[in-house]
Structure 1
Amino acid sequence: MSPSRRRERRACSRRRGRVAWSFEYAPGVPIFTSTGLRSWTQAGNVLSRPAQLAVAGVEASRGNFALTLRHHDSRFWMITADISDGDGHLLVTADDPAGSWSDPVRVTGTPGIDPDLAWDDATAPAT
């Protein structure tokens, strides 16, 4: 297990509570849940398997950054910039924020940070 820095928390609401996360290192993107916003419990990690995010041997501050978590059509969607290779973003989904999260779909040719998710009329995710 690598060190964890829980520097950033944002909330993604759903009907029965809130979900928040943090990022950097592996296992990556710890997910926290709360029903009252005062007490938070770690539910799991989005990127918990080496196949999801290969950060072994990567320099400090070179992992996943500036993620977006959304709840849409009863599914959680997370996209993050993969700084370790500099060529894009990772998109994963789960029915429950505690996991199990899908293997990532790599969105290549999209360098940079702060990816976002939106849905058009056909409900296709877009960044």
Structure 2
Amino acid sequence: MVGEISGLTDSSYIKLWDFSTGSNVFMDSTQIINTKFTFKGFLSSNKKYQSVGITTPDFKNITIFWIESGFIHFTAENGKFRDAVIKGSSPEKSTLAVSDIGYRVNAEKYSTYSCLKKGVLTFLRDL
């Protein structure tokens, strides 16, 4: 995954979390250099898709989305991670379609736990 985040200080860190089991498991961190970052690796589950989150260390910025193997591009602005644009991930396109009815997983509207209660993550995880 590659991406750009505007508005963060150069050399700031962001963290990648695994949300595919319904809890947050730390996966990796990387620095922002000239607004750009890269995460390299493999999906940590044996499923085709994985729910992940990107946060700042203080959790003031957070977004949760779906990835699959292949090229993923993430674009966001400091303070507006919930409006991040994620390209290259088919399951994320499904999540965006669901967002039209208000189930987009983000820090402002729904916690991961409340979405699990609603069954949204279970539904999307099984796509």
TM-score computed with the length of structure 2 as normaliser? 0.32
Name the structure with the higher helix share.
2
Name the structure with the higher strand share.
1
